[in-house]
Amino acid sequence: MTTYYQLHDSPLGTLLLLGNGEAVTGVHVAAGKYVPELAPDWVCDAGQGVLLSLRRELDAYFGGRLRRFSVALEPQGTSFQKKVWAALARIPFGETRTYGQQAQVIGQPAAVRAVGAANGRNPIGIVLPCHRVIGASGALTGYAGGLEAKAFLLRLEAGS
């Protein structure tokens, strides 16, 4: 299947948006960790379909007008990662959870570190809100887009 991409300006800097024509497969802060390199066979999407919808939703989210994304998602990962990422989608806008709480949600309370690792590899940042997961002490820990980006997103959702 063809991979389509767009670069999109945001308050977090440039975002790399990826899709397969039917669903979003990636949202990455370009200056962050685990950002895939542009492959020669990827096609720059000229603003059609799912990536156009994603851009509009991201702009509305950053503008404080969107609390829940509706674009189709198709994250690629292991079955465990997909379970963790599905649990992320259930964290309400403006709320946070700890890694331990997320491990309990997926029915694996001893898998706190594995949940943290899966969150770190979340390929669809912002939309699958791994920024809403914090340390047990309330500290902001780990975010592939950078801790400043995580803090920004949490402030945005808190309305401050």
Residue in the structure block whose two tokens are 């919808």: 53
What pTM value is reported for the model?
Answer: 0.93
Confidence of residue 141 (pLDDT cuts 50, 70, 90): confident
Contacts of 71 (CB under 8 A, 6+ apart): 23, 24, 50, 53, 54, 57, 127
Catalytic-role residue among 50, 130, 133, 134: 130
Pick the CATH number of 4-62 from 1.10.3470, 3.30.160, 3.30.460, 3.40.50: 3.30.160
Q: Are 134 and 119 in contact (CB under 8 A)?
A: no
- Which pLDDT value is given to residue 26? 97
Burial, 73: exposed, middle or buried (Cβ in 10 Å; 0-12, 13-18, 19+)? Answer: buried
Percent of the chain whose pLDDT exceeds 90? 84
Q: Which of 74, 71, 75, 76 is nearest to 54 (CA)?
A: 71
Q: Is 44 a catalytic residue?
A: no
pLDDT digits (tens, 9 = 90+) for 52-92: 999 999 999 999 999 999 999 999 999 999 999 999 999 99
Q: Are 66 and 82 in contact (CB under 8 A)?
A: no
Report which listed range, 47-56, 92-101, 144-153, is most confident.
92-101
Mean pLDDT of the chain: 93
Q: Are 150 and 140 in contact (CB under 8 A)?
A: yes
- Which pLDDT value is given to residue 117? 94
Q: Are 83 and 49 in contact (CB under 8 A)?
A: no
4-62 shares its CATH topology with 79-158: no
pLDDT at 51 over 90: yes
d(C-alpha 146, C-alpha 1), whole Å: 30
pLDDT at 47 over 70: no
Q: Give the mean model confidence (pLDDT) for residues 127-138.
A: 92
Which ranges in the chain belong to alpha helices (H)?
Answer: 49-62, 79-88, 99-105, 112-120, 147-158
- Which pLDDT value is given to residue 41? 92
pLDDT at 46 over 90: no
Domains of the chain, residue spans: 4-62, 79-158
Q: Which fold has domain 79-158?
A: Arc Repressor Mutant, subunit A (1.10.10)
